[in-house]
Structure 1
Amino acid sequence: MHFAVNRDVPQPNDRLEPAFGLLDEIRHDPVYRLTYIWIGGSASPEGLADWNLRLGQRRADALTRLIGDQTGLSAEWFRTDNLGEDWTSFERMLASDRRIPKRDEVLEILRSTPDNEARKRKIRDLDGGQTWQQIIRELFPPLRNARMVIVYQRPKNDGIGAEAAFPAPLLRVAEQPLPAAGLPASPEGGCGCGKWLIAAKTNLLFDAALVANLGIEISPCTHWSLDIPVWYSPYNITSRRNIRLLAVQPEIRWWPEEALRGHFIGLHTHVAGFNIALDDYARYQDPNHALWGLGLSYGYALPLGRAQRWGLEFTLGAGFAKYRYDAYRNRENGQKFASGSDCYWGITRAGITLSYKWDLSRKKPKN
């Protein structure tokens, strides 16, 4: 049974009805005896390993529930295995598929690199990610599955039963399946909700301008996140230069692959109080009426390091900002000489941001 990317909701499958029919036939057969039903769940190797591990278990559980609901079989008839990222089937499929232009290089990486995360990095680095994206499109979809084997016996007087199995699924069982015991299933959700990622961030462009800032990004779902940067600089840079800000710019983001990795687009709003002097002529501040506006942005998040907890994010956005201002002479006790309001259209968000993230959905297996 196949699943959509990052999902554990079974897709329609014509092979299930014959399987249900065979189960019913075995259960009522006067000679053969049903022993158990083996269920294995797996995920394709893109994305975070911890998430894929949990996804494999959730898919095995989903197929188990579906069979139980359709047949009335209780939980003791099932044995489940969490196969995690199905690298074994991927290598077998790749070896027989000549559509992948760098197939031989990828096979060499698989055979010479035992660490799965290192495998991903090396394949992505082959040609700027083109081969990796083709593999995701053409080879990975069948790996997002749950498979089953029906085991039944024919009792004999000598106690030795002839064991048979339901015809093998398209993808064979991995040689070393990961144990399912103790691995908790994440809350069900069509978009991968339950995978909580949190990142602490600082925008290096504002740091370089001596504007203190700190942000937090929260992702409760695979493709969505909320970024909340805050700027607070109550100090003067020099006697006639200052960028005093108290501002916040929340942004909701959509990630086509997975949150906090790769490309994203965002919709942000901004609210800011300001007191700014950038030259000797004037100092501008808001008259107790905050600047506000909206904008759209595009960006790219690049994970760093072996554990990929650190990251760099590059983003640029445009929109509008409505504001009022009072202008003062830029000197000590300078008098106000103008007031006004305006609507700015242009760049509203820019950043080279350093981040560190935590996966709050990670749980250790029980002993």
Structure 2
Amino acid sequence: MKLKVNVLFLFILFLCLRAGAQTVAIKSNLLYDLTSTINIGIEFPVAPKWTVDVSGNVNLWTFSDNRKWKQLVVQPEARYWLCERFNRHFFGAHLLGGIYNFSNLNMGFKFLGTDFGELKGHRYEGWMVGVGAVYGYHWLLSRRWSLEGVIGLGYVYSRADKYNCPTCGKQLENNKAHHYIGPTKLAFNLIYVF
């Protein structure tokens, strides 16, 4: 897992160096910060009304009763700005990919065909890939600082092994596929523009 985190940060650093003298935005999703998920995003221009945003997040924590929502996710995104780059409305498309290890989470609800109640008393370890469309709005606060709200909807394909209990137990399902349609991105970003 540590190697994957290092590869993610090296990739993001490469994108920063490649952007060179162009305007680059560094961002943190405040919603992820509230859930103790480490995250960073980098956005740089590629055309007068187009930018590319690459964000990544990792959550490595295990809580009491072996509750965990461990994940490593990368989400590249192309954005088209209606006004000018880094100002007001934009639309975009994103990809996502990652690995996860969820265990003993008490989320007793169903949403768009996914039963989150199955996370209680079980552990799921697997990977996911997906695609989606986004809408966002960017508020300028000053020359360097801004805020941004983003919502995305899309499709995620996942495969996971299911285990009988959160810490140990017999494997109940091997490499089971799951299809999800619904929200794929929710962000309220604090941004610093270079």
CA contact (8 A) 1:203 1:213 kept: yes
CA RMSD of aligned residues (A): 1.7
How far apart are residue 261 of structure 1 and its match?
1.0
**d(CA) in 1 for partners of 2:139 and 2:121?**
41
Which one-letter code corresponds to 2:130 in the other structure? G
Work out which of the residue numbers 129, 133, 136 in structure 2 matches 1:299.
Answer: 136
**Is 1:343 equivalent to 2:171 in the alignment?**
no
Task: Give the gaps of 5 or more residues in structure 2.
Answer: 1-19, 107-119
State the SS of the aligned residue for 2:32. Answer: helix
State the SS of the aligned residue for 1:206. Answer: helix
Within a 5 Å distance, the mapping from 1:221-300 to structure 2 comes to 221-277=47-103, 278-279=105-106, 280-286=120-126, 290-300=127-137
More strand by share: 2
CA contact (8 A) 1:196 1:220 kept: no
CA contact (8 A) 1:195 1:220 kept: no
CA contact (8 A) 1:293 1:322 kept: yes
Within a 5 Å distance, the mapping from 1:1-367 to structure 2 comes to 196-277=22-103, 278-279=105-106, 280-286=120-126, 290-305=127-142, 308-339=143-174, 340-358=176-194
CA contact (8 A) 2:67 2:166 kept: no
CA contact (8 A) 1:210 1:237 kept: no
- 1:354 to 1:330, Cα distance in 2 relative to 1, 3 A: farther
Aligned residues: 160
CA contact (8 A) 2:68 2:101 kept: yes
CA contact (8 A) 2:29 2:40 kept: yes
TM-score of the two chains, using structure 2 as the length reference: 0.77
Equivalent residue, structure 1, for 2:113: none
Equivalent residue, structure 1, for 2:114: none
Runs of 4+ in 1 over 4 A off after TM superposition: none
**d(CA) in 2 for partners of 1:196 and 1:258?**
15
Which one-letter code corresponds to 2:77 in the other structure? E
Query: Deviation per CA, 1:53-101, whole angstroms, max 9, x where unpaired?
Result: xxxxxxxxxxxxxxxxxxxxxxxxxxxxxxxxxxxxxxxxxxxxxxxxx
More helix by share: 1
Which one-letter code corresponds to 2:82 in the other structure? P
CA contact (8 A) 2:44 2:51 kept: yes
**d(CA) in 2 for partners of 1:199 and 1:265?**
17
Equivalent residue, structure 1, for 2:5: none
Identity of aligned residues (%): 32
Structure with higher Rg: it is: 1
CA contact (8 A) 1:297 1:315 kept: yes
How far apart are residue 195 of structure 1 and its match?
8.1
How far apart are residue 296 of structure 1 and its match?
0.3
State the SS of the aligned residue for 1:260. Answer: coil
TM-score of the two chains, using structure 1 as the length reference: 0.42
